[in-house]
A and B are shown apart, each in its own frame.
Chain A
Amino acid sequence: MKWGLVIASLIIAMSMFLYQWPKLKKQQKKEKAAFLSLTFLGLFLSVLLIFFPEMPGPTQMIDWIYKPLGRLIEK
Chain B
Amino acid sequence: MKLRSIIENGLLRFFLICSVISLSGCWDRNEVNDLALITAAGFDMVSDEKIELSVLVFIPKGGGSSDQAMESGNGGASQTLVRSAEGKTVADAMAKLQEKLPRKIFWGHTDVFILDEELAKKGIAGHVDFIMRHPTLRERGQIFVSSQKAKKVLKLMPPLERDLSEVLKELSQHKLGLNITTKKLAQMLIGDSGDCALPWITILPPENKEKPKQTIAYITGTAIFKKDKMIGIIDDSVTRGVLWLRNEILLGVITIKPPKTDGYISVNVLQAQSKLVPKIQNGKWIITLKSVSASDIVQNTTKLDVSNPVVLKSLEPLLAKEIEKRIKKARNQVQEEMKADIFGFAEAFHRKYPDVWNKKKNRWNEIYPNVELKFDTKCHIRRQGLTS
Contact = CB atoms under 8 A, between A and B. Distances in A.
A18 B3 contact: no
A18 B14 CA distance: 13
A37 interface: no
B11 interface: yes
Nearest to B14: A15
A23 B11 CA distance: 14
Interface string A17-29: 0110011000000
Interface in B1-59: 3-4, 7-8, 11, 14
Q: B interface, by DSSP: helix, strand, loop or mixed? A: helix
A19 B9 CA distance: 10
A15 B3 contact: no
Contacts of B11: 15, 18-19
Contacts of A23: 4
Contacts of B4: 22-23
Contacts of B3: 22
Interface in A1-47: 15, 18-19, 22-23
Interface size class on chain B is under 10
Nearest to B11: A19
Nearest to A23: B4
A64 to B, nearest CB: 31
A37 to B, nearest CB: 23
Contacts of A22: 3-4, 7
Contacts of A19: 7-8, 11
A8 to B, nearest CB: 12
A18 B5 CA distance: 11
A15 B15 CA distance: 11
B15 to A, nearest CB: 9
Interface string B316-330: 000000000000000
Contacts of A18: 7, 11
A28 to B, nearest CB: 15
A18 B3 CA distance: 11
Nearest to A22: B4
A35 B355 CA distance: 63
Interface of B: 3-4, 7-8, 11, 14
8 contacts: A15-B11, A15-B14, A18-B7, A19-B8, A19-B11, A22-B3, A22-B4, A22-B7
Interface of A: 15, 18-19, 22-23
Given A19-B7, A22-B4, 9 more contacts: A15-B11, A15-B14, A18-B7, A18-B11, A19-B8, A19-B11, A22-B3, A22-B7, A23-B4
Nearest first, the 9 A-B pairs at minimum CB distance are A22-B4, A18-B7, A19-B11, A15-B11, A18-B11, A22-B7, A19-B8, A22-B3, A19-B7
